Every structure is written in C-alpha cells, then in structure tokens.
Amino acid sequence: MTVDAPAGKIEVIEFFWYSCPHCNVFEPAFDAWSRRVPKDVAVKRVPVAFRNDFVPQQRLFYALEAMGLLDALHRKVFTAIHGEKQNLGRSEQIADWVARQGVDKAKFLEQYNSFSVTSKAARATQLQNAYKVEGVPALGVAGRFYTDGTLAKSMERALQVAEFLVAQVRSGR
C-alpha cells in the first residue's frame, strides 16, 4: 500500500469519526502521543466514511485542514457533538456550527465543496478500505500494519503496539 509520508518518515494513521464516542475518548491521548513521537514518524488523521452519511464529517475535517483551522477546531468538533449534544451530521448543520466558531461561512463552504476536499475524502475512504478498517478508532502503520482497541485490548495498548511496529519498520523488518 502506498503511504503519503515523506521519504525517511514512518507513517502512523489514526482512523476516526467525529460522531464516534470511542474516538472522542481517545482523542486527548492520541493528540498527546502524536506530539511526542520521534522525528522520523509522520502522524496523520484520516476521517472514515463507512456509509454515505459519514461523508459530511469527512469533508468537515478536510475543509478545516485546508483553511488551517484543525488545531483550533478539531477538538471542538468532538466537544460540540459529544459534550454539547449538537447534531453535526449534515452539511448545513456543519456550516452553521463552523460559522458560530467565527469562521466565514461562505469561505468554509467554498472549501467544503471544493475539488481538493472531495479528492481528499475519496483518498481517505481508499485508505480506510486498503487497511480494512472495521471500526474506529484504529491505527495504521507504514502502509503495512493495522491495530485497534479490539486487537490490542485497549486504545492505550494500541498506541504501544504502534510504537512497537514503528520500531520494527525502523529496523528494516
């Protein structure tokens, strides 16, 4: 499987869905872990779309990324859905929520509906299928390995498994 990481980098992908309660719980741990990985590890988040009704949130992620707003709003999306019980399942609801965060709604919708975001969402689904992701959160390593909370018995252990797999890749195995 092809990876998008630069040469010399080992890619670790977190597959997630904003409306997934397990992803919401895992996000702070994954975020903290991703900030302390070695320099040769490229961490990437990939929103899944197991069904068509997941696509609006997939597009939300990539639109925020394109606008440079992920750092500011990624965690807030989880909070809005899980903490504030807001329904962010459809594009209109998403655009209204983003506007309430102080983002220009027209500029957001331009990104949300752009060819670039459409392409990234399609690529995300290809990756999810290539890794055979069955549930989220889940981790893909170096285009070769996959783990999740079920396989590892917890997402904390899945991070340890990912670290082990990164070391295996680094040593040429």
SS3 for 65? helix
- Using the predicted structure, report yes or no on whether residue 2 has a pLDDT greater than 80: no
Predicted TM-score (pTM) of the model is 0.95
DSSP 8-state symbol, 6:
P
How many angstroms separate the Cα of 7 from the Cα of each of 15, 24, 40, 49, 59? Answer: 22, 31, 9, 28, 27
- Using the predicted structure, report yes or no on whether residue 49 has a pLDDT greater than 80: yes
CB atoms within 10 A of CB 167: 12
Contact 152, 161 (CB under 8 A): yes
Tell me the CATH number of domain 10-170, given options 3.40.50.2300, 3.40.30.10, 2.60.40.3880, 3.50.50.60.
3.40.30.10
- Using the predicted structure, report yes or no on whether residue 105 has a pLDDT greater than 80: yes
150: Cβ contacts below 8 Å, ≥ 6 apart: 135
* pLDDT band at residue 1 under the 50/70/90 scheme: low
Q: Domain coordinates of the chain in residue numbers?
A: 10-170
Averaged confidence pLDDT in the chain = 96
Contact 62, 117 (CB under 8 A): yes
- State the average pLDDT over residues 49-67: 97
* Integer Cα distance of 67 and 82 in angstroms: 24
With CA atoms as reference, report the closest residue to 64 among 22, 116, 11, 8.
116
Contact 170, 10 (CB under 8 A): yes
